Copies of this chain bind each other. A is one copy, B any other.
Amino acid sequence: MSGKPSRIDQAYTALKSAIIEQALRPGDKLPEDEVGQLFSMSRTLVRQVFSRLNAEGLIEIGGKRPATVAIPSLDDAVAAFEVRQALEREVITLVIKRWNPEHKAALEAHLAREIEAAKAGSAPMSIRLAGEFHTLLAEMSGNPLLSRFVSDVVSRCSVVLAVYGRPHSADCGVHEHRDIIDAIAAGDATSAWDLMRHHLGEVEARALIGSSEDSPRSLADMLSPYVEGGAGTKARPAKNRGRPRLQVVKENR
């Protein structure tokens, strides 16, 4: 599909995935040079990556402190779901308008993967796929801008879930995805809207207390599955050698 994702894109995707799958948790610190070493790039590029992540509300940068994984306020959470409702409503309208068999096939395939992940009990995978269901739907709207906005707001909602959601219940109602697909396939916009509203309401309702214990690990450990090559312990540009000083960066507060 995409010819050559730049290193920036790779790091961006890796960090985004790590945050959404909750390998990095809200409040975790992300020092620029450490991340740079992990991805074998200079702070200049890390900064660009951070800039993008910040624009999507996934991390917070600015005040000369290290960047941190975002901790959305309750207001932010409500706002995100409010906007999400409006956007996904439009998505449904457009998808129904442009509905075709390929769309159905793609959604069915995705749903199958969701079910599989749920059966396997893979929480990170489930979380990721649940979000991707909505971005996939958005892409079918044929409106790239809408798609971008939805992707953005879905990311924000994922972080909200990480902060306020119950630890593990993020299977996001695969059932409900099933019903939404059917309603869209039937061309029934009204009931699809209702289903989506109910579905997002359910997701939002999981915004309750969700204190999860802290187990401090190193940034390298948390990110290693996402770094190309599997770890940050090789392919460094022959500088700053020795033990890479990857220590506890986890924020315990």
Instruction: Give me the interface of A with B, judged by CB distance under 8 Å.
Output: 44, 48, 51-52, 55, 57, 76, 79-80, 82-83, 85-87, 89-90, 94, 143-146, 149, 153, 156
Q: Of B51, B80, B144, which one neighbours A145 at CB under 8 angstroms?
A: B80
Kindly list chain B residues whose C-beta atoms are within 8 Å of the C-beta of A83: 87, 90, 143, 145-146, 149
Kindly list chain B residues whose C-beta atoms are within 8 Å of the C-beta of A149: 83, 149
Residue of B nearest to A150 (CB): B83
- Copies, count: 2
> Sorted from nearest, which 9 A-B pairs have the closest CB atoms?
A86-B90, A79-B143, A79-B145, A83-B146, A83-B145, A82-B143, A51-B51, A55-B55, A86-B86
Please state if B156 and A79 are interface contacts (CB–CB under 8 Å). Answer: no
Kindly list chain B residues whose C-beta atoms are within 8 Å of the C-beta of A44: 44
Kindly list chain B residues whose C-beta atoms are within 8 Å of the C-beta of A85: 90
Residue from A51, A52, A90, A145 whose CB has the most chain B CB atoms within 10 Å: A145
Min C-beta distance of A193 to chain B, whole Å: 12
Residue of B nearest to A75 (CB): B144
Residue from A89, A90, A94, A144 whose CB has the most chain B CB atoms within 10 Å: A90
Q: How far is the CA of A149 from the CA of B145 in the complex (A)?
A: 11
Residue of B nearest to A44 (CB): B44
Q: How far is the CA of A44 from the CA of B80 in the complex (A)?
A: 32
Q: How far is the CA of A149 from the CA of B144 in the complex (A)?
A: 14
Please state if A82 and B55 are interface contacts (CB–CB under 8 Å). Answer: no
Min C-beta distance of A225 to chain B, whole Å: 28
